[in-house]
């Protein structure tokens, strides 16, 4: 595919819904932590990472469903489609993009492994070819990370190029952290109330997420 979208363009296109996604994951992680805190002392720690990730996705999905037809600050956030995937996975389509939302560790993009559907997704091939309105969509990956005890730490976004069974096969067109302004809502600055445009240099100055560390594949990343 040609004309890979720049990260600044993607962030501006996704400005209306990034705060919703962030809030959903933030509340989901807090709910997961609360679940373990309510257990008997011998079962509270260490937190089971797979169950915690599932609970996080479950509550994030509730948030996305609740906000699916909400309009905030004049921005129509009701156009995104949240679709069912196994294991309470998170997948949505918005404007000219599709996004799979994975839990990450050490800022790593998960390896597709033996999953043909994930390999096709990383290669920018149709993942849900029968989904209405998904023709000519760009496939994106949103990654969320937690910090101790189990709180949302960061959200990053990547545009995959390829991925197979090994770490070295995972290649991104780009992968950047989402700036705080996009997590908590971009303040309008133009006379018509639209979101300010992020300049390309702003994105280039962001901390780039690298793929140098070994990846620990979790069940959370398999859908």
pLDDT for 156: 97
pLDDT at 142 over 50: yes
Confidence (pLDDT) at 194: 46
Q: What is the percent of the chain where pLDDT is above 70? A: 73
**What's the average model confidence in pLDDT over 57-62?**
92
The Cα–Cα gap between 82 and 219 comes to: 21
178 has a pLDDT exceeding 80: yes
The pLDDT value recorded for residue 195 is 44
**Which pLDDT value is given to residue 43?**
86
Given a cut of 70, whether residue 57 has pLDDT beyond it is yes
pTM beyond 0.85: no
pLDDT in the model for residue 67: 76
Position 86 scores a pLDDT of: 81
Neighbours of 157 (CB within 10 A): 24
What is the residue-averaged pLDDT of the chain? 79
């Amino acid at each position: 595919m040609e004309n890979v979208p720049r990260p600044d363009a993607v962030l501006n296109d996704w400005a209306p819904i990034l705060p919703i996604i962030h809030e959903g994951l933030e509340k989901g992680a807090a709910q997961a932590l609360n679940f373990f805190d309510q257990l008997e002392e011998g079962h509270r720690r260490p937190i089971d990472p797979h169950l915690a990730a599932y609970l996080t996705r479950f509550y994030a999905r509730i948030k996305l469903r609740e906000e699916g037809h909400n309009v905030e600050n004049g921005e129509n956030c009701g156009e995104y489609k949240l679709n069912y995937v196994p294991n309470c996975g998170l997948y949505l389509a918005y404007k000219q993009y599709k996004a799979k939302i994975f839990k990450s560790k050490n800022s790593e993009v998960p390896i597709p492994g033996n999953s043909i559907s994930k390999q096709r997704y990383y290669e920018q091939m149709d993942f849900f070819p029968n989904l209405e309105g998904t023709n000519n969509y760009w496939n994106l990956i949103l990654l969320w990370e937690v910090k101790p005890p189990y709180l949302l730490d960061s959200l990053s976004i990547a545009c995959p190029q390829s991925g197979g069974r090994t770490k070295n096969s995972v290649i991104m067109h780009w992968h950047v952290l989402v700036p705080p302004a996009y997590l908590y809502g971009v303040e309008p600055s133009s006379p018509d109330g639209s979101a300010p445009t992020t300049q390309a240099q702003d994105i280039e100055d962001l901390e780039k997420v690298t793929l140098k560390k070994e990846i620990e594949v979790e069940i959370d990343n398999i859908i």
